[in-house]
Structure 1
Amino acid sequence: MSQHQYILLDSPAAGLSRITLNRPDSRNALNNGLRGEILAQLEANDADDAVRVTILRGAGSCFCAGYDLKSNSDKDRPYHTAGGDGSWARHVVEGAFKVWDLAKPVIAQVHGYCLAGGTELATSCDLVYVAEDAQIGYPVVRSMSPPDNQFFPWLVGMRNAMEMMLTGDAISGTDAVTYGFANRAYPAADLEAAVLAVATRVAKVPPDIQQMNKRGVHRQMDLMGLRAAVRQGTEIQALAFHTDSTKAHFKELAAGLTGALTSRDKEFGDYRTRNDDKE
């Protein structure tokens, strides 16, 4: 019997471990319990000689629709982060770099919604493969703040990042590849087989070589300033929480999550207001 409450774990082929986010009724929204189980399993896989590659995917209709706004993000965090202004954003960034710094490759398999915290989770992975009709975006910028983890300029370039941040609009899986967010896009029905094929090829390279291959790319990004810049972004995110608009949105959220998010998106006619979806 699985010891996990929020994830499913299987091995679809030799050398592969697959973690499935298993909160489909909440569109795999990230609470601290789910985040903790993901990170603990990734670290366990990194120490397991039988595992060469980990695949991360979501159960149900989507990969991950964001952080769980109904949960208390300050309670039961999976690792300590210093408190004060910007603590949550710093905590998120530290978690992303925990995944970034693993020795073994991690592949994100993205379908359906990949929003807000879901984009941050996918970005921390080494490879990202998406369904062509996936919806990838950060709608929180419309009412609350910039991302906790401000990686968009690094992945998609200044102009694309600016458009996504100034509109909160989602891009398709196909556009995500064009922009540089994802490696490749596939029809939704073909995504799982395509990811398994890539993961199997990646697993053919010995782990002691593969960790050097990963580190070689990451150190180049570090030298260009990615790690320092993403961490600096948490300070801007903290400032945003002191704006009048964000304070007003928090009051809306306290009055009712569904109403607040519907109010946020109704003028744009997307996300939950497009077809009465829940985010």
Structure 2
Amino acid sequence: MTSLVEFSVEDSIAIVRLNRPDVRNAINDEMRAQFVAALERAGSDDAVRAVVLIGTGKSFCSGGDISGMRDRLQAPAGKVAFNGWRRQQQTHRSVAALHGIGKVTVAAVNGSAAGLGCDLALACDFIVAAEDAVFSMSFVRRGLVSDGGGMYFLPRRIGLSRAKEMIFTGRSVGSAEALAVGLADRICPSGTLVRDAAAWARDLSKGSLAAIALTKGIMDRTFETAEEQVFALGREAQAICYTTAEHREAVAAFLDKSAR
């Protein structure tokens, strides 16, 4: 049976590949479960230093599976809302698994990242866009709101008014505009997308795994956290870092070099 989410590790970088190219990697329930499993696998493997997320074929991810939306609406009227609430829990579990993983994450966006696909890219720490990448918060076209964290992530990347405009219109944003407004961090040729994204992920994750994980966990909450609380979290994180092998080895190496 073909895996809907492929997982491989290449020189310390986990490549998580959405794999439903026949529907432009639209996400259904089974893919969502496999996606969470892949992220948990990457998060628990100390040999993995970073994660690159990409889609198979010509698209990154076209969003939620429309056939699933149709099936949901065929439920009895009295069950539509509760069934939807339960489905949303699974969607948010997958986004939380991606955003909360204590390792560097890079979305390598090939082709279209629409709706939930755009949300998934935004949940990553960094976004590398292929030259043909197109971002779209297309929920409004289906009479829906962004349900994969986009209303949280997008304003933090491009500002509140730009985020509202992009969400309210559902318009497409090409790679050049995405880079200009901060939606994407880099652009690279489509043919080298995975290689370039993995190389950057490798550079970003050379430091202490513990220090990166702790720093990421604090910085991801910076905008909504009071100054003193950030300081307090920093103190706790630093105390943990004092006990790590990476810190001990780095201090010893520096002192040894200085003594020469």
Higher-helix-fraction structure:
2
Runs of 5+ unmatched residues, structure 1:
75-81, 225-279
* Distance (Å, rounded) in 1 between the aligned partners of 2:83 and 2:23: 29
Report the Cα distance in structure 2 between the residues aligned to 1:57 and 1:12, rounded to whole angstroms. Answer: 14
The question of 1:67 aligning with 2:86 is answered no
**Per-residue displacement from partner, 1:132-161 (whole Å, max 9, x unpaired)?**
221100223134122113233232212322
Q: Which residue of 2 aligns with 1:19?
A: 16
Partner of 1:165: 167
SS at match of 1:37: helix
Pairwise mapping of residues 53-132 of structure 1 onto structure 2 (< 5 A)? 53-71=50-68, 83=82, 86-89=85-88, 91-132=90-131
Runs of 4+ in 1 over 6 A off after TM superposition: none
CA shift, 1:42, in A, is 0.6
Instruction: Summarize the Cα distance change of 1:40–1:173 in structure 2 as closer, same or farther, 3 Å threshold.
Output: same
Aligned length: 214
| Whole-Å separation in 2 of the counterparts to 1:174 and 1:213 | 30
Change (3 A) 1:88 1:7: closer
SS across alignment from 2:52: strand
* Amino acid in structure 2 at the alignment position of 1:182: A
Q: Deviations over 1:211-244 (max 9, x none)?
A: 02212311213427xxxxxxxxxxxxxxxxxxxx
Which residue of structure 2 lines up, in the alignment, with residue 253 of structure 1? none
Describe the SS at the equivalent of 1:182: coil
1:30 aligned partner: 27
Q: Greater Rg, structure 1 or structure 2?
A: 2
Percent identity at matched positions?
28
Normalising by structure 1, we get a TM-score of: 0.70
* Residues 16 and 54 in structure 1, CA contact (< 8 A), matched pair in contact too: yes
Deviations 1:88-115 (A, max 9, x none): 4454334322322211122111010000
Structure 1 contact 6–37 (Cα < 8 Å) conserved: yes
Aligned partner of 1:267 in structure 2 is none
Tell me how far apart the structure 1 counterparts of residues 142 and 39 of structure 2 sit (CA, whole Å).
Answer: 33
TM-aligned CA deviation for residue 85 of structure 1: 6.8
Q: Give the letter aligned to residue 41 of structure 2.
A: A
Measure the CA separation in 1 of the matches of 2:42 and 2:2.
15
